[in-house]
């Protein structure tokens, strides 16, 4: 008779062997990241080093797919295979912050032995389809598998005004699940990228279709991004509006409320109605039939019909049908740009820290801060999605606080106030602000702030004189980021006042 203990050990070893041979589990990896994100309160330095984990999945070509936010700002990345204690160094070979996707490679290709890639599913999953989510969420070290159903499919905004298809599922997702795959019938239908902490069992996937577009863009080694249509549009449901637009009964579309460009050769004008994308008609809400029981915004079809940056559209203008080719954009020239993995530049003058505004700054600001900025009519809120032009290339903001010094006594805190003018000269960019300060003359220097903020007047020469002592008191090594060196140093004979002798090198 075999002892029960031996029977248990034999059964356990078989189970472990079965797990080790599971091709799905073997393709899931845990990602360890050492990262330093930007510090918007202290832009002259990086944020503290933080250790975090996420998930990833091995795909064709000995590559690992994960989320951009799992690996962005990482100084060191390690991947750990299923049922392994070894951590292998990895590097990012492609990243799409707007779609929250990233691709990793490892130098040690032996890591992929007995770890076969998983394949991407074709098409869009159906509503109520069952999916299994694999990953390494917080709460344990072992691989977690949860089950849910597809509850919603929509075309929506991701990040930085990048739009794409998104799948909502009802599986429980937690921090650490990010970058892990959701599978149906053994194929990847999507990649986990977020959940809603305040809601139970609601999570989101980046569909396989969007992953294919990302990988195709990366084939030449460079990710460029998704083409975008940025004209302001509205639906044509209202009966009076339809009569005004001379829309025939049964014709759908979207009305151009504000064209993206005002140039005469731009093919769209206000009051135009886009009725077709390629040969596909739009309904009165601007949607198109994609599959049975699934209608999505017509912009979902942009990758299908775009050729060399041009999109074929049929429009109705003053009751007459026209065919046009609309030029699309990949990276609009925003006043408030996304950082895309870079760090914000800075310039310190006296007790003031200046920096460039960014979408990332606004993403990290809490609801109370945004409400305060809106109440003070701060352009960070009002002009967040405005385009740059020759008069204003970017918004320049003051820091969250001024360094302690009697020179600013009596002034209120100027939390992320936008600098409009220096001595009545409009500020075009952070570099331009530095040049204006360097060239300033007279007894005083004045900073006019946009919105409901005070005007700040300082003794000009004293601001130059105290800068170096403030840097020393605060333990700040460099007065400015290295990209501003030429603007500040310039021609030494042109520079007014004392200023700091720091070289601005990082």
Active site residues: 69, 100, 178
- Hey, is 370 helix, strand or coil? helix
Is residue 405 classed exposed, middle or buried when 0-12, 13-18 and 19+ CB atoms within 10 A define those classes? middle
Q: Strands 63-66, 50-59: parallel, antiparallel or unpaired by DSSP? A: antiparallel
Torsion angles phi and psi, residue 495, rounded to 5: -80, 125
- Contact assessment for residue 156 and residue 166, using Cβ atoms and an 8 Å cutoff: yes
Distance CA 256, CA 269 (A): 7
308, 341, 340: which is closest to 326 by C-alpha?
308
133, 203, 138: which is closest to 176 by C-alpha?
138
C-alpha R_g of the chain:
27
239, 230, 275: which is closest to 255 by C-alpha?
275
- Contact assessment for residue 78 and residue 14, using Cβ atoms and an 8 Å cutoff: no
Torsion angles phi and psi, residue 459, rounded to 5: -70, 120
Residue 15 has a CB neighbour count (10 Å cut-off) of 10
- Contact assessment for residue 107 and residue 147, using Cβ atoms and an 8 Å cutoff: no
Distance CA 269, CA 232 (A): 11
187, 179, 213: which is closest to 303 by C-alpha?
213
Q: How far is CA 332 from CA 163, 307, 387, 389, 429, in A?
A: 14, 18, 7, 11, 17
Q: What is the 3-state secondary structure (H, E, C) of 437-479?
A: HHHCCCCEEEEEECCCCCCEEEEHHHHHHHHHHHHHHHCCCCC
- Contact assessment for residue 484 and residue 431, using Cβ atoms and an 8 Å cutoff: yes
Distance CA 269, CA 266 (A): 8
Distance CA 69, CA 348 (A): 30
């Amino acid at each position: 008779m075999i002892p029960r203990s031996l029977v248990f050990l034999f059964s356990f070893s078989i189970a472990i062997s079965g797990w080790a041979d599971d091709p799905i589990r073997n393709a899931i990896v845990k990602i360890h990241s050492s990262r330093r994100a930007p510090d918007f309160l202290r832009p002259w330095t990086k944020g503290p080093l933080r250790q975090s984990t996420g998930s990833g999945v091995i795909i064709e070509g000995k590559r690992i797919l994960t989320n951009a936010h799992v690996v962005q700002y990482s100084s060191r990345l390690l991947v750990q295979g299923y049922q392994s204690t070894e951590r292998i160094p990895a590097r990012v070979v492609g990243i799409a912050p707007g779609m929250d996707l990233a691709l990793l490679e490892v130098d040690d290709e032996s890591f992929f032995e007995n770890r076969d890639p998983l394949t991407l599913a074709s098409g869009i999953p159906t509503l109520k389809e069952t999916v299994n989510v694999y990953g390494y969420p917080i709460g344990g070290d072992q691989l977690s598998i949860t089950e849910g159903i597809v509850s919603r499919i929509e075309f929506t905004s991701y990040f930085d005004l990048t739009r794409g298809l998104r799948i909502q599922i009802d599986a429980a997702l937690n921090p650490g699940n990010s970058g892990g795959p959701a599978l149906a019938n053994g194929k990847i239908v999507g990649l986990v990228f977020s959940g809603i902490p305040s809601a139970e069992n609601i999570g989101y996937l980046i569909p396989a279709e969007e992953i294919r577009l990302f990988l195709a863009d990366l084939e030449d080694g460079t990710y460029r991004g998704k083409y975008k249509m940025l004209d302001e549009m509205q639906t044509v449901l209202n009966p009076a509006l339809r009569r005004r637009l001379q829309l025939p009964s049964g014709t759908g579309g979207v009305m151009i409320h504000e064209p993206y460009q005002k140039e005469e050769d731009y093919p769209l004008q206000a009051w135009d109605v886009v009725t077709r994308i390629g040969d596909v008609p739009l309904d009165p809400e601007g949607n198109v039939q994609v599959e049975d029981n699934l209608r999505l915004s017509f912009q979902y079809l942009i990758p299908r019909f775009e050729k060399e940056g041009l999109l074929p559209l049929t429009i109705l203008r003053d009751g007459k049908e026209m065919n046009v080719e609309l030029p699309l954009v990949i990276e609009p020239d925003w006043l408030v740009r996304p950082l895309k993995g870079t760090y914000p530049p800075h310039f310190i003058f006296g007790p003031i820290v200046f920096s460039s505004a960014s979408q990332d700054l606004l993403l990290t600001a809490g609801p109370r801060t945004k409400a305060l900025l809106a109440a003070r009519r701060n352009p960070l809120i009002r002009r967040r999605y405005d385009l740059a032009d020759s008069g204003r290339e970017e918004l320049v903001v003051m820091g969250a606080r001024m360094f302690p010094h009697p020179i600013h006594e009596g002034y209120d805190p100027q939390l992320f106030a936008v600098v409009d003018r220096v001595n009545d000269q409009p500020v075009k960019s952070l570099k331009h602000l530095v040049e204006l300060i360097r060239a300033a003359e007279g007894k005083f220097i004045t900073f006019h702030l946009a919105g409901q903020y005070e005007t700040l007047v300082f003794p000009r020469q004293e601001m130059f004189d105290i800068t170096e002592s403030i840097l020393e008191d605060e333990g700040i090594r460099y007065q400015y980021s290295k990209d501003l060196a030429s603007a500040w140093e310039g021609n030494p004979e042109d520079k007014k006042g004392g200023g700091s002798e720091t070289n601005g090198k990082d």
